[in-house]
Amino acid sequence: MRRKIVAGNWKMNGSKDLSEKLVGYIRSEAGSLDSGVEVVVIPPAIYIGDVLRQAQDTVAVGVQNVGQWQSGAYTGEVSSEMAKDVGCRYALVGHSERRQLFGETDELVAEKVSRVVSGGLTAIVCVGETLEERESAQAEIVVASQVRTGLSTVVQGEWKNVVVAYEPVWAIGTGKTATSDDAQAMHAVIRHVLKDMGAPAEEISLLYGGSVKADNAAALFAQPDIDGGLIGGASLVAKDFVSICRDFPANT
């Protein structure tokens, strides 16, 4: 059975106070959540230690970005080995903001995925099309290419450390959300591409991200190929985030 995952990406937001209150609330509510759902918090790197102390093994922790190198003279970079060393279990790779603002290419994403899985973390690999690409009927082509190239370095035995997050760029932070049917259609495309690559496609968790909120999560998570969510703004509001974590169908 595929893992059900709800991951909260804080982006460049947070504080010691938020770490204490938000993660403490998630921990206090952990007993009321389905034990089959893994809750992941991905704060800015500077707050990872605070989140880990608050998590007390009830919440998995991730890092928002890693370098494509293991170590060396790369001021400001963090390696996947360092993230694992302090207690992280996940790393985001290829988020649209990294692609758009920092020029990360599919080829660089592939390098980082290789470092993440070899460093012992699970990579949450983000893919998604822009509004222009969707309106020009290129969405499936773009996303399929991102999957093929970004995961081209993964070898058999490493797929268990790969999660794919579909985040249509036009729905991130805009309040717009793909319909549950549209999201399911793209997730089905991604799973088909993974199968063509020789990956154990039915075992790989696929997440949806893009203005996921408490009032739309249940419809998204009810789709057969959507295994959870990568949550942005709503992950900064404790009650909303926990509500999303509860929104999986009872039979999953």
Catalytic positions are 95, 167
Lookup result for tokens 């035995």 = 157
Lookup result for tokens 């970004």 = 150
Nearest residue to 225 (alpha-carbon basis) of 179, 169, 183: 183
Instruction: Assess contact for 185 and 143: CB atoms under 8 A.
Output: no
Nearest residue to 186 (alpha-carbon basis) of 210, 153, 162, 203: 210
Rounded Cα distance between 82 and 118, Å, is 12
Rounded Cα distance between 77 and 65, Å, is 9
Please count the other Cβ atoms lying within 10 Å of the Cβ belonging to residue 216. Answer: 20
3-class SS of residue 231: strand
Rounded Cα distance between 83 and 70, Å, is 11
**184, HSE (Cβ side, Cα atoms, 13 Å):** 11
The beta strand positions in 46-188, using DSSP E, are 60-63, 90-93, 122-127, 162-166
First-to-last C-alpha distance (Å) of the chain: 9
Instruction: Assess contact for 234 and 244: CB atoms under 8 A.
Output: yes
Instruction: Assess contact for 235 and 8: CB atoms under 8 A.
Output: yes
